[in-house]
Amino acid sequence: MHELPITESILKIVLTHAEKNDVRQVMTIHLQVGKLSDLEDEWIQRYFDYLSKGTIAQGAELKIERTPIMLQCNACAASYPVEIANMSDSACPVCGQKDSKLISGREYYIKNMEVQ
Amino acid sequence: MENVRLIEVKEEIMADNNQVAAGVRERLRNTKTLLLNLMSSPGSGKTSLILRTVEGLKGAVKLGVIEADIDSTVDAEKVAARGIPAIQLRTGGFCHLDATMVTQGIDALAAKELDLIIIENVGNLVCPAEFDTGAHKNVMILSVPEGDDKPLKYPLMFTICDVLLVNKIDYLSLSDFDMAALRKRVLTLNSNIRIIEVSCKTGAGIEDWIAWLKKEVDEFK
């Protein structure tokens, strides 16, 4: 449901960079979004299509790379990937401890964009 | 066809909000006002907990409340009726509060020289977890009727909170809620979280919550 503010933010950043670089048309935008985010790729694109109408980013395609959820064991410091459904029942594959901290999976990042 | 160029952007999408949130935290650090963000599903007892908190802190802590609601003022009216400054933010359909909306609430409360401001976030276990409000402490409520499986479905919320209040424990005997399983799941996600079992209806456990809160407010001075 919070695709809208996220998408507004993406568009704002994209247009700022486009202006600085004399862009005529934004074609593709590469994003990194953590797997912990519940955003739906399809909806981000739909909101983007709606918000970008009449701008040089109109028609741009969003390519979303999902970054894995990584935990770091508080006992032995090993890091390991987990899926969202297993997070609350995960154990360190090295030492078996369940005590961990989240080190990635919450990313919202614009990497780069292809433009003309 | 014109050549396609690649532009490196390398920007955090949430950077604007994160910056405003950091500003809120610093501003309230300077006025020694602790900002607490209270989150939960709809109907788990956020307003009831705030009313219990108003009672528990009476005379000891100067408290203000920022209420977020999609489109009503019911909650703010309940709090204001207890003589507590309450600001209602209508989120106009938004599912969460962001730091800019919270700033409006703080501006409206600014003249009151408060020790503590509680944000009652929009009832939702998903979106509020993703947006930094500028709060110094995040607290969530899970009520017994919602079930002990919520950490499986909404891990991020449990990961970012300092305190989990398990509310409506007066329902425990009527349900198959497994408190031990809940604790295990939550502590696996977040070993630093403090879990306090309460009933806003009977008052059970409320003194533990108030004791935690008073200590946090005192330490913020």
Model pLDDT for residues B64-87, shown as the tens digit of each residue: 999 987 667 777 788 888 889 999
Among B104, B119, B136, B133, which residue's Cα sits nearest to residue B30? B136
Determine whether the interchain pair B158/A99 forms a contact, defined as Cβ–Cβ distance below 8 Å.
no
Q: What's the confidence (pLDDT) of residue B93?
A: 72
- In the chain, the amino acid numbered B136 is H
Mean pLDDT of B187-193: 93
Nearest CA in chain B to A101: B190
- In the chain, the amino acid numbered B78 is K
Spatial distance between the Cα atoms of A66 and A88, rounded to a whole number of angstroms? 20
Q: What's the confidence (pLDDT) of residue A3?
A: 83
CB B207 within 8 A of CB B201: no
CA–CA–CA angle B7, B13, B15 (5° rounding): 110
Mean pLDDT of A100-109: 93
* Predicted TM-score of the model (pTM): 0.92
> Least CB-CB distance to A115: which of B5, B16, B126?
B5
B51-to-B48, B57, B201 alpha-carbon distances in Å: 5, 10, 11
Nearest CA in chain A to B3: A116
Nearest CA in chain B to A20: B7
Whether the pLDDT of residue A66 is over 80: the answer is: yes
- In the chain, the amino acid numbered B203 is G
Determine whether the interchain pair A27/B4 forms a contact, defined as Cβ–Cβ distance below 8 Å.
yes
Q: What's the confidence (pLDDT) of residue B80?
A: 85
Q: What's the confidence (pLDDT) of residue B200?
A: 98
Model pLDDT for residues A8-33, shown as the tens digit of each residue: 999 999 999 999 999 999 999 999 99
Whether the pLDDT of residue B212 is over 70: the answer is: yes
Give the closest-approach CA distance of A100 to chain B in angstroms.
Answer: 7
Place of tokens 């809160």: B213
Return mean pLDDT, chain A: 93
Whether the pLDDT of residue B1 is over 70: the answer is: no
Please list every residue in chain B whose beta carbon sits closer than 8 Å to the beta carbon of residue A85.
Answer: 152
Whether the pLDDT of residue A103 is over 90: the answer is: yes
Structure tokens at B49: 């907990």
Whether the pLDDT of residue A1 is over 80: the answer is: no
Cα torsion A14, A16, A19, A24 to 10°: value is 20
Spatial distance between the Cα atoms of B52 and B207, rounded to a whole number of angstroms? 10
Q: What's the confidence (pLDDT) of residue B110?
A: 82
Please list every residue in chain A whose beta carbon sits closer than 8 Å to the beta carbon of residue B11.
Answer: 13, 17, 109-110
Structure tokens at A53: 């109408």
Write b or e for each residue in B23-52: b if 16 or more Cβ atoms lie within 10 A of its Cβ, otherwise e.
Answer: ebbeebeeeebbbbbbbbbeebbbbbbbbb
Q: Does domain A3-115 have CATH number 3.30.2320.80?
A: yes
> Of A60-69, B64-73, B188-197, which range is least confident?
B64-73
Give the closest-approach CA distance of A43 to chain B in angstroms.
Answer: 15
Nearest CA in chain A to B160: A102
Give the closest-approach CA distance of A15 to chain B in angstroms.
Answer: 11
Model pLDDT for residues B144-189, shown as the tens digit of each residue: 999 999 999 999 999 999 999 999 999 999 999 999 999 999 999 9
Spatial distance between the Cα atoms of B120 and B114, rounded to a whole number of angstroms? 16
User: pLDDT band at residue A38, thresholds of 50, 70 and 90?
Assistant: confident
Looking at residue B111, the DSSP 8-state letter turns out to be G
> Least CB-CB distance to B13: which of A1, A6, A112?
A6
Nearest CA in chain B to A106: B130
ipTM of the modeled complex: 0.88
Please list every residue in chain B whose beta carbon sits closer than 8 Å to the beta carbon of residue A38.
Answer: 126
Determine whether the interchain pair B7/A27 forms a contact, defined as Cβ–Cβ distance below 8 Å.
no
CATH code: domain B15-220 is: 3.40.50.300
At B11, is the secondary structure helix, strand, or coil?
A: strand
Give the closest-approach CA distance of A104 to chain B in angstroms.
Answer: 11
Q: Sketch the domain layout of chain B as residue ranges.
A: 15-220
Q: Does A22 touch chain B (CB under 8 A)?
A: no
Q: What's the confidence (pLDDT) of residue A52?
A: 97
Rg (chain B; Cα; Å): 18
Q: Sketch the domain layout of chain A as residue ranges.
A: 3-115
CB A35 within 8 A of CB A84: yes
Model pLDDT for residues B98-155, shown as the tens digit of each residue: 999 999 999 999 877 999 999 999 999 999 999 999 999 999 999 999 999 999 999 9
Determine whether the interchain pair B155/A24 forms a contact, defined as Cβ–Cβ distance below 8 Å.
no
Q: Does A102 touch chain B (CB under 8 A)?
A: yes
